[in-house]
Amino acid sequence: MNPMQIAVALWTLVGKEVRRFTRIWPQTLLPPSITMTMYFIIFGNLIGSRIGEMDGYSYMDFIVPGLIMMAVITNSYSNVASSFFSNKFQRSIEEMMVSPMPNWVILAGFILGGMARGLGVGIIVTGVSLFFTRIEVAHPLLTIGVVVLTAALFATGGFINALLGKKFDDISIVPTFILTPLTYLGGVFYSISLLPDFWQGVSMLNPILYMVNVFRYGFLGVSDIPVGWALAAIFAFIAVLFAIALWMLERGKGIRS
């Protein structure tokens, strides 16, 4: 395929993914908006007013970046996991695999579709947060860059999950038992400086901690960990997961019976 044909194939695949999740918006865009609104009300307004300040900011301001990032992570991941597994289950993925379309285009198309949903939900949650607090972004370019990279990372993770899954239950295990606990323990609701030294060390093994903190640094200018290290970790995770996903797709892992 020449570059123009590849661009058309990629655009078509991304458009299909975007139409899929926007067509069923009551299932894909509305629930996270309602969930995050409840977080803002309960943790930000009701409990946050009793907690006071965290790292020099009101508790509401402190948790806003973490909640936006949590919405982006879960939606980027779940969109690709459910969409690709559905294609695999219905065997329509086989039609893509035998087409002249390169495998990296298939992978990139699903990842970009997942990123579109994750970032779309992130924008909605940001809009909701404006009803509760006034957001000032300290480093806009860093903030945008980190949220885009994080969406790409977890969309790639969702793709690997869909490749490995053999039934629909398999694509909900990772979000339920791994992704959600890591997100809650990733500094969304607290600063790790509150933890004892041992648990601070354990928290440093959580990759989501790096993303939440560098995103919070973009908003507020405060972070529990060096921003340079966080960015390096995100780039490394993306490179490794993309290579693994492409390798699995090239060999038909989880597709060929």
Over the stretch 183-215, which tens digit does the pLDDT of each residue have? 888 888 888 888 888 888 888 888 888 888 899
Q: What are phi and psi of 167, to 5 degrees?
A: -145, 165
Torsion over CA of 147, 148, 151 and 153, rounded to 10 degrees?
-110
Q: Give me the residues paired with residue 53 across strands.
A: 58
Please state at what angle helix 227-250 crosses helix 140-164, rounded to 10 degrees. Answer: 30
d(CA 77, CA 73): 6
Place of tokens 């990759």: 207
Give the pLDDT band (50/70/90) at residue 7.
Answer: very high
Per-residue pLDDT at 123: 94
Per-residue pLDDT at 224: 78
Mean local confidence (pLDDT), 124-147: 90
Per-residue pLDDT at 254: 78
Mean local confidence (pLDDT), 33-44: 87
Over the stretch 71-125, which tens digit does the pLDDT of each residue have? 999 999 999 999 999 888 888 888 888 888 899 999 999 999 999 999 999 999 9
Please state at what angle helix 140-164 crosses helix 207-220, rounded to 10 degrees. Answer: 160
Please say if the pLDDT value at position 178 is more than 70: yes
> How many CA atoms, within 13 angstroms, populate the side-chain half-sphere of residue 196?
2
Burial call 178-187: b when 16+ CB within 10 Å, e when fewer: ebeeebebbb
Q: Where does 41-158 show beta strands of DSSP type E?
A: 53-54, 57-58
Please say if the pLDDT value at position 156 is more than 90: yes
Per-residue pLDDT at 184: 83
Mean local confidence (pLDDT), 216-236: 86
Q: What separation in angstroms does the CA of 165 have from each of 85, 174, 182, 245, 254?
A: 7, 10, 21, 13, 7
Mean pLDDT of all residues in the chain?
88
What radius of gyration do the chain's Cα atoms show? Answer: 19
* C-alpha of 207 from chain center: 12
Place of tokens 């194939």: 9
Per-residue pLDDT at 257: 60
Per-residue pLDDT at 246: 94
Q: What are phi and psi of 252, to 5 degrees?
A: 70, 25
